[in-house]
Amino acid sequence: MKTSLLLIDIQNDYFPGGRMPLEEPEVAGYHARQMLTAFRQAGLPIAHIQHVATQPGATYFLPGTEGTAIHESVRPLPHEVVFQKQLPNSFRDTPLLPHLLEQQIHRLVISGMMTHMCIDATVRAASDYGLECMIAHDACATKTLIQQGESIPARKVHLAFLAALNGAYGKVMGTSEIAPLIWSEVGSRFD
C-alpha cells in the first residue's frame, strides 16, 4: 500500500511570536521533522498543506505575512508538493484528493496543527474518501479552548480529539511506532 506523509499547517503563526501560538508547537515540529526526514530518506511521497486565510476578519495566516510561511522545522524542498487551503479540511476546494489518486496513494501519515480543527477535519474527510490514516500524536499540537466559560487545557483537547479519531477514522500512533512501518514498506517494494 503506497503511503504519503501529509504535513498540515505547520506554519510560523502557530509558534512563539506568531499570531496564534499553540501549546508546545516546537515539540510537534520536532516530531514532524523526524517523520519528514524518514519519508525523504525512504523516497516516499510528501505533501505539505499551507493555510492561507482569505476570509474577512481573519487574524492569522494572512496572505503575504511571515506567519503564513511553513515553519523551518518542516520547510519543503523545491520538489515537494505544497497545497494551499482556506478551510480546515485539507481536501475541501484543493487538488489534494486528485493528487493522491493520481499517485495511487491509499494511506496517509498525518501530522500538523491544530489537532482539534484541521487535523480532525482532514482525517475524517480522508477516511470518508477510503484512505487509511495514521495520525502521529506527538507530531500534532493544539491550544486551550473555552466552552461555556470553562477552560479546557490544550493537552485534554488534544487527547480527546485523538481518542475520537482512533479506531473509527484512523490509527493514532507515535512517530517511533510509525517510522519502522515506513521502512518496512520501502523494503517490501524491493523484495
Please report, for the chain, the start and end positions of each structural domain, with discontinuous segments joined by +.
3-7+22-49+88-190
Distance of CA 110 to the CA centre of its chain: 5
Strand partners, 84: 50
- The CA distance from 121 to 8, in Å, is 11
Q: In the predicted model, is pLDDT for residue 16 greater than 60? A: yes
pLDDT digits (tens, 9 = 90+) for 111-122: 999 999 999 999
Per-residue pLDDT band for 187 (boundaries 50, 70, 90) equals: low
Per-residue pLDDT band for 191 (boundaries 50, 70, 90) equals: very low
**Average pLDDT over the chain, rounded to an integer:** 95
Cα distances (angstroms) measured from residue 23 to each of 27, 82, 114, 148: 9, 25, 10, 21
pLDDT digits (tens, 9 = 90+) for 155-165: 999 999 999 99
How many other CB atoms are found less than 10 A from the CB of residue 156? 13
Look up residue 170 and give its DSSP letter: B
> In terms of DSSP H, where are the helices of 2-133?
25-42, 96-102, 120-128
Rounded average pLDDT over 143-147: 97
Per-residue pLDDT band for 131 (boundaries 50, 70, 90) equals: very high
Q: In the predicted model, is pLDDT for residue 184 greater than 80? A: no
The total number of residues shown for the chain amounts to 191
- pTM of the shown model: 0.94
Q: Which of 4, 27, 25, 6 is nearest to 14 (CA)?
A: 25
* pLDDT at site 179: 83
The reply to whether CATH 3.40.50.850 applies to domain 3-7+22-49+88-190 is yes
Place of cell 506568531: 18
* pLDDT at site 188: 52
State phi, psi for 165 to the nearest 5 degrees: -80, -35
Q: In the predicted model, is pLDDT for residue 190 greater than 70? A: no
* pLDDT at site 186: 65
pLDDT digits (tens, 9 = 90+) for 42-95: 999 999 999 999 999 999 999 999 999 999 999 999 999 999 999 999 999 999
Judged by DSSP in three states, 114 sits in: coil
| HSE value, Cβ hemisphere, 13 Å, CA-based, for 74 | 37
Q: String of b and e for 127-149 (b: at least 16 CB within 10 Å)?
A: beeebebbbbbbbbbbbebeeee
* pLDDT at site 189: 47
